[in-house]
Amino acid sequence: MSEHTESKDRSQLRQKRMIADHFERLSRAKEEGKKVVYTFVPGNLTELIGAFDMLPVLPEINALQSGMRKKSAGYIAEAEKSGHSEDVCTYVKCDIGMLRSGNIGPTGTKLPEPDLLLLSYTGCFTFMKWFELLKQEYKCPVVMLHVPYQPDGVITDEMRSYVVEQLRTEVIPAMERVTGTRVDVDKLAAHLSLSKQAEDDLVAVWESARHRPSPIDGYFGGVYYVGPIFSSFRGSHDAVMYYRELREEVEARVARKEGPMAPDGPVKEKYRLVVEGPPNWTNFNEFWQMFSREGAVVVSSTYTRVGGLYDQGFRHDPSHPLDTLADYCLGCYTNLGLPSRVDLLAKYIREYEADGFLVNSVKSCNSFSVGQLLMLRKLEEKTGVPGGFIESDLVDPRYFGKANIENRVQSYLQMLEARKARGTSADAVVSP
């Protein structure tokens, strides 16, 4: 095994161990008296949950894991059989189906029932319905944290204060009731401090993609990089270690001028892309290979910012625990108005010197998808860089049309190739 492979494996192995340990802890939670909180990725309050020694479960992560493990089709069918419409979010149906099928988690052990449903209503209307549905299934309290939307890309004092007041008067008291302990502000601050360290290293990883070749794939590879910080580990020593190792590995790749690793080996960078929208999970590797085989590397993506826009300067601030949690929740990518999303994508396209940008529009996610066709036009106008558009779904394999997607990706990349060959200037825009 080469030194490069050993180095790469270190962070991967750590992440794998972290996940296994977490699910192991969850499987013992009830016997050890640990309280379990179900919550969402955007606007998650992992540090606060950690300060109460509670264990988080993230239904979105379970759903995407079910998609990757080819279980989601059955779960969705189960939910549809019980009256859920084919029109609605497949994450929700996958979760409901998984619950009705025994609630077996990604590591094969049964997930514990929640002691608290923490409904962080951030950037996605469906979250609210999702936990109203789960409320019917579990006899446990639900606490709602309504995070206002940022239509103009500005966090106002009123928004922040609304979130802080809900944390103070609703969320923390609910956690105190469930755990029987008072909030330990010092412990919360300590977790926030660890978050900040991990966030610094994650940003360095993202920004490494400015190099040519990019040492990372900031979308397909990126979803693995955000795993710990988006889920149960932000604010932990494990996460700090993971991101330190990952950063070292990426910096070593930069020094060696290596491109990213894909499922079928190293990628020789030919096209640099920015991607908007979540990936498809049911055929994730096939989807990635459609790009990696053609030398298309994603240098930046917006899906990897749904759990926090750290590369735009946000860091958890231990000296203002509640304000910083509020700002974090308010600042998640899908909580931004469309004009702000266009501005951010344009910035990525320019700063990462992308040859093109691609929208993967998923049926399940209106929060992401509504407006993407207009975003595409506006981005082309703003940047002169051509956009491409493909459609799939998060975890419903019925909406992954491999041949269709592959054709579109290939035509798009051929168009980029033709532009390169012609030395086309940025003002000649072609849309596939």
Partner 1 sequence: MTDPAAPIFERARALVDDYTLGAVKAWKAAHPGALAVGHMPVYTPRPLIEATGSLPVAVFGGGDSLDIIRGDSYFQSYICHIPRSTVELGLGGHLDALDGMVFPSICDVIRNLGGMWKMLFPQKYVAYLDLPQNFDKDVGGRFYTSELRRIARELAGRGARTLDADALLGAIARENERRVTLEQLDAVRRAEPWRLRATEAYVAVRAGSVMPAEEHTRLLREILAAVKLRTARPVDNVRVVLVGSFCEQPPFELIRALEKAGCDIVEDDFQLGMRMIDGPIEPCAGEDPVEALSRAFLERGRASASRYIDRNEKGADLVARVHACAADGVIFAAASFCDPALLDQPMLEAALERAGIPHTSFKFAENTGQFQVIREQAGAFSDAVKLWGPAGAPVAAQEASV
CB closer to partner 1, 59 vs 227: 59
- Residue 410 near residue 294 (C-beta atoms within 8 A): yes
Of 169, 149, 151, nearest to 159 by C-alpha is: 149
CB closer to partner 1, 15 vs 383: 383
Task: Report in angstroms how near the CB of residue 420 gets to partner 1 at its nearest.
Answer: 28
Tell me how crowded residue 363 is: count the other CB atoms within 10 A of its CB.
Answer: 17
CB closer to partner 1, 173 vs 263: 173
Task: Return d(Cα 388, Cα 358) in angstroms, integer.
Answer: 5
| Collapsed DSSP state (helix, strand, coil) of residue 388 | strand
Q: Residue 85 contacts by C-beta under 8 Å, 6 or more apart in sequence? A: none
Task: Report in angstroms how near the CB of residue 82 gets to partner 1 at its nearest.
Answer: 7
- Residue 119 near residue 59 (C-beta atoms within 8 A): no
Task: Report in angstroms how near the CB of residue 268 gets to partner 1 at its nearest.
Answer: 33
Task: Return d(Cα 287, Cα 296) in angstroms, integer.
Answer: 12
Which residues of the shown chain bind partner 1 in the complex (CB under 8 A)? 82-85, 87-89, 92, 119, 121, 124-126, 128-130, 132-133, 135-136, 142, 144, 146, 148-149, 151, 158-159, 161-162, 165-166, 169-170, 337-339, 341-342, 361, 363, 366-367, 369-374, 378, 391
Task: Report in angstroms how near the CB of residue 380 gets to partner 1 at its nearest.
Answer: 13
CB closer to partner 1, 88 vs 190: 88
Task: Report in angstroms how near the CB of residue 338 gets to partner 1 at its nearest.
Answer: 3
Task: Return d(Cα 116, Cα 56) in angstroms, integer.
Answer: 10
Phi first, then psi: what are they for 389, rounded to 5°?
A: -140, 125
Task: Report in angstroms how near the CB of residue 363 gets to partner 1 at its nearest.
Answer: 5
Of 21, 4, 3, nearest to 239 by C-alpha is: 21
Token pair of 410, please? 């290939």
Of 417, 428, 353, nearest to 386 by C-alpha is: 428
CB closer to partner 1, 142 vs 430: 142
CB closer to partner 1, 127 vs 412: 127
Per the document, the length of the chain is 432
Task: Report in angstroms how near the CB of residue 148 gets to partner 1 at its nearest.
Answer: 5
Helix, strand, coil % in the chain, rounded to nearest 5: 55, 10, 35
CB closer to partner 1, 20 vs 373: 373
Task: Report in angstroms how near the CB of residue 242 gets to partner 1 at its nearest.
Answer: 32
- Residue 129 near residue 48 (C-beta atoms within 8 A): no
CB closer to partner 1, 266 vs 337: 337
